[in-house]
Structure 1
Amino acid sequence: MSRMWGHLSEGYGQLCSIYLKLLRTKMEYHTKNPRFPGNLQMSDRQLDEAGESDVNNFFQLTVEMFDYLECELNLFQTVFNSLDMSRSVSVTTAGQCRLAPLIQVILDCSHLYDYTVKLLFKLHSCLPADTLQGHRDRFMEQFTKLKDLFYRSSNLQYFKRLIQIPQLPENPPNFLRASALSEHISPVVVIPAEASSPDSEPVLEKDDLMDMDASQQNVFDNKFDDIFGSSFSSDPFNFNSQNGVNKDEKDHLIDQLYQEISGLKAQLENLKTESQRAVLQLKGRISELEAELAEQQHLRQQAVDESEFLRAELDELKKKREDTEKAQRSLTEIERKAQANEQRYSKLKEKYSELVQNHADLLRKNAEVTKQVSVARQAQADLEREKKELEDSYQRISEQAQRKTQEQTEVLENLKQELATSKQELQIAQGSLDTCAQAEEKWVTQIAELEKERDSLVNAMACREEEISALQEQLEHTQLKLSSAQESMCQLAKDQRKMLLAESRKAAEQVIQEALRQLEEPTLISCPGSADHLLSTVKYVSNCIEQLEKCWSQYLAHPEDISGLLHSVTLLARLTSDTIVHGGTTCLRAPPEAADALTEACKQYGKETLIYLAFLEGEGTLESVNSTAMKSCLSKIMAIGEELLPRGLDIKQEELGDLVDKEMAATSAAIETATARIEEMLSKSRAGDTGVKLEVNERILGSCTSLMQAIQVLIVASKDLQREIVESGRGTASPKEFYAKNSRWTEGLISASKAVGWGATVMVDAADLVVQGRGKFEELMVCSHEIAASTAQLVAASKVKADKDSPNLAQLQQASRGVSQATAAVVASTISGKSQIEETDNMDFSSMTLTQIKRQEMDSQVRVLELENELQKERQKLGELRKKHYELAGVAEGWEEGTEASPPALQEASFQFHHLHKLVSIRGLADSKPGHYPESVQSQKDRRSVLAENAKAVLPLFLAVPWIPTAAYAAAAAAAYKKTLGAIKISGVTVTRLALLPCTSVFKNRKRGQDAIPICRWFGS
């Protein structure tokens, strides 16, 4: 229904289509999620239960909510786009008709938006943010649209008195921040309470209405006197004085009370909404405080860890300080050793000076003591070596002492800096410890309060547990009752299933018995059927029997599932009835023996089906219900139907698609070959011919080339149209399946393609003979007409299933007109060439005498009589050939052989030809009444023009008749048409013989619903 409304581009078509699509989406959503009620009102606990605590379910549920909300927004946007917002459309009837469905849409959108926000926060707490990027983008888009639509709706006067539309926040929720959930406020749609029905209104007691003080009564009386005058107070019809109070004032008081009640109800709803909102805010605040408490505890733990770390660092610094003191002590010892070495060096130096002096003394005593000199030299060398060693050792010790001193100084400075830094960090840690201690005291207080609340909750929980135990006892008692009720319900359901199966079986038996009764009474079957339709029905029955056996086995395994079995039984009954009826209709076209066999097989199949259905009613097993006898009868029916198939259907249906492509390709190849041969003949003619013959050959071959090119364009357009037909009509099936399903139409395409290729080949052969001087120009003209007829057949076969507004069909028609023009050009060039050549063969009468001319005249008359006699015989031969051609074509296409048309067809044909005769014959024009023409038509010339237009309009009635012609009827129709149009004078031109253009007659069997197929081609002489 949605697709049907979608075809209407104006008015309410698109609105109805989108609204129906929304209803389908809503039903699918509630089918997938049965936990959601129809009004979508759920608590947070119910929403969590709908996802079953599974993140995958929440993820899928969010996607389905997005789809549902998108359909709602599409309807919203389409309704607003269809309104003229420059006027107050909400107060008009048409505008309110369009805005009325949006009230429910607003309610659903508010719930879907609230649930989507909560589900997205839940998903962000379980899944990474990158995974939900698509959800966030889609939510942002829908948030913007919904906010804009809510704002635009709140400004319409129509909604202000019916519904209070909520306003969404300025910015969308930040799902990356978990605490943002507490800031979310669920949108609440408030519908003001409407006036209650009179039955439900509270009845005010009479005393309550009468107990009014005198001042109020006087006020009413004064108002009444001011409006109607004081004379009414003494009037006998003054109901105020008779009843004690004015009826209008009572109604006004009642209305006022109802208004106050409605206002109080609205205030109560607002208070409930505000309380719910406050509860939600308090819950969010509690969650925030709990989060802050956890965060402070975490900070406290961090501070404790940092203090432990600082203590460890302080111990390390103390150890480093002790190491530094040890290093200083070692440095002092090294300095002391250095001083001892210096003292030793000074002592050695003094000793050296003494030795020098001794050496001087020894030199002086050298002469005296030679041995002592050598000893002294040796001692001197030893002293110098020791001196050098002492100097080197002193140098090394001094350098080492300097390095040690420098290193110790650097280490000491680093330790001082680290000590200062540690002191600062220690001070900071001490401050944070103080802060944490204060916070700890605060949280200890809060924890104590929370423990008190926990104790109260524990007490409440104990009370709840007592209530739960009582409820559990009630539940056990209820479950016992429920189990007994379920047992009774199961037995009742079992009885109902048996009853349904029995009723379905009885109904199926009635349908089959009715079909058998129709088979016994042939008068009930008014239309003959076809064997191919019977075979297709038998195939459906075979599939249905297999499906029924599966459903029966499933029913035996699971008796509670009976829907499939009931459907299969009903379908089997209907298909069995169709098979029997179609078998009876097929017998009307079959030979007597085959008809008797088919009738007997159909009867036997009906009886076996009744026996099979009788087995289904009992509690039998799968083996007791046997369908072998039914399948055997179906096999017999199928065998008889295949024997009754016409010869034109011998091609396997699965090969039709490939055969169409092959024939179209072969036709294109034949056209290309013909074009190449024409070009070759043209080049040969230019090389060997001159003068008039060359001119005639060039003109004829050029027109033939143009015709081949036009045919090539036509074939390409036909391929495009066929491809479009297949793509638009095949649905989910393949092209081969489409061709097989429409076998008659496919065979028409194949026949037309073969005819086009054959005509092109014959025309090229005829043109070759004409160019060589061995052929006749008439053959070329006939071949051109044959090609035009074949292309017309191809166009007609392609147009049968095409859409009338298809651009490919327009291109095909344009190409067909091009072929017609090219055919006319071939005929014209052939006639012109023939006349040019005949002019060169004119007789020379200058040298002939009177006797010779008379002799030639007599010979010409004899020749004319001979030719007329031959022409008459040739026409008779042509008529016999065409009659035989129609008979063979009828047999090939599956028509009945040797039968006449049905009486309704003959009556229709008689009416059509009579109407045609009245329109176009000279006698009909003479005998017609003046009222047959418009009043503006007075002259004979105007009448002839009207006659020509009428004849042109009526001609397609004969060329494309909607009834089924047979071979005998085709011959009778041709004879009647020729007799009717034996001599016509239209616009001053006398036509002595009917010259029908080659055309293709296309019919459609509307009774059987088969596709249109080409049946015959007419050539008038």
Structure 2
Amino acid sequence: MSRLDRETFVKSQLEAIQKALTKLEMPLKPKHARRIIVGTHQERSSNIFWNTVSRMQLEKNPVISWKFCHLVHKLIRDGHRKVPEESYRFISRLKQLGQFWRHLNTSGYGICNEIYSKLICERLEFHKKYPVMPGSLTLTETQIKTLEADLDNAFEMTIDMLDQMDNLLNLQTKVFDTMESLRWSSLVPQGQCLLAPLILVILDTSKFYDYLVKMIFKLHGQLPPDALEGHRARFREVFRRTKKFYEESSNLQYFKYLVSVPTLPSTAPNFLQASDLDSYQTPHAQLYGDGSEDGQSVAEEALVAFDDEPVQQPSPASQPDPRDEQLVVLQRAVEDERFAKERLIAEARSRIEQYENRLAQMQAECDHARREAEEQRDERNRLQTELATRDASRVQSDDARVREAEERARASEERFNKMKGVYDKFKAEHVQALTKLGDLSKQLEASEKAKMDKEEELTIILRRLEEAQKSSDSLSSKAAGDAAAVDELRTQLAKADIEMEEMRRALDHEREKHSTALVQASSDFGSQLSALEKKLAQDIQDAVENMIQKADEDLQNATSISFPPHLAQSSISQVLSLLENLKLVGGTKEIINSVHNLTITVVSCASAAYTASIQHFDGVNEQCKKVLSKARIAFSEDSKYAMDEFIEEVKALEELMAGLPLQTDVDKVGFLCNTNLK
């Protein structure tokens, strides 16, 4: 590759990395990822990628960190075989990135970035520990059998693969929880950006699941079941979570056209039954396509990229020697072989170290077993010696114990005979003492009975004496009580007479006091009633005077008011009837009503006279004044004569009002005047 081609290649790689790691919330573009993966195959290294990424600030945006982890995951799976080994040198950068996002929950990506970074780190450590496992996790049957042949390595590798499954399923669980909490759909770009790495999780879990089933079955064929109880328990939990993950993923529209989600059986394999391995079916998960625009796979695009490299067509004079090309091909083959040999040597060294460690462990176990055997042999000899010594001493001690037992038996016989004599003597003395005790008891009972009889007689005498004393005391107290009762009754009778006299005096005093108060109240009520009547009469007179005064004032303005004569005549007739009724009944209400109607009627009559005929107005007006004058006198003096004169004046006013011309006469006169004027 020429220098110009090299610069073009590096520039295209930088451009692809820059376009792939953007902060837009959308899935990683497959074409950019494919260019980077193909670049690792062309370069046979991932140095360009890591040199570029190490200068980028991945922490500035959570989406960039998420896409970076996704891209590294794809490079480990699909990149050059050196990618896992070279990426391991940057594991500290990945751990730093995970630590940064541990406490930052930004847009739901914070904790997801931490879990994804941890997954990538442990994945690189897994490939470092097991170089035979490629990044794509694809092993041949021969390689699987080789791994199963080493029992210790297979035992430890299954534990590590279970850890890898836990990491993958933890990432899936957190992504689904974040999708649910943010209510994102798999059809929106934000949801697809978060779900895109789960395609790789589906591919990885299907591979790990297959290897775990086969290797755990193999371990059960070589180890006791109790030693693998932890493996079975962890696998059952992994099976449950993986099955749930596949079922939920198969329902998402986003995965439908990108990856085929495998289906797991309803129950986990029974590792205790070897026949289950025969019915086991490997779960297959494969990509329908990377979503590229031309539908090419990574390997095909790598070939196309190699074929599309610009080839300079030299002139015939500068045609390169075919041997040089063959030399380049051979150099590449030698490099590949050297890398393969280095990997085999590293793997062989790892195996040798494991075997040496195992051999040293077995040697230590053998030495330990030999030491235990020697200790057991020494312990057996010591026990045999102690047993022989114990048997010899036991015979001697048995003879001594027999002689000692005989001596104790003779001494016991002698003590028994002595005790028997003492017992017989004590028994005779005891019988004699019991006889004496019986006689004394009988004498004591007789004396006690006589004493009780004397005490009963004395008690009866004392009781009779007390009864006589009580009867004497009761008679004395009764006599004294009767005399005191008579004195008490006399005292109470005297007190009752005194109280009756006092009550009689108090009653007479109250009667006298009540009569005086009643007379005073009657006098006060009469005075108040007289004052109220006078005040009422004065108020009525003032009201009448005010109404008459008001009528006088209104009478002066009667010419400015038009009033029908016939209504005035009916009003004055009504006033006369009220005055006649007033003479018979009287009363405050009737007086006020009569004066009120009178004042209105007088003013109405004057206005009606002016309205009917000007020449009749003066007579009616003078008569109205006389009526008001007589009314003032009649209502101010309580005199029947003044009232009669007042009524006569009202009747005179009625006659004048009756003499007024009718409205028709006025109309005729007006018509004649108009005719003459014409």
| Same fold by TM-score greater than 0.5 | no
TM-score (norm 1): 0.20
Rg larger in 1 or in 2? 2
TM-score (norm 2): 0.29
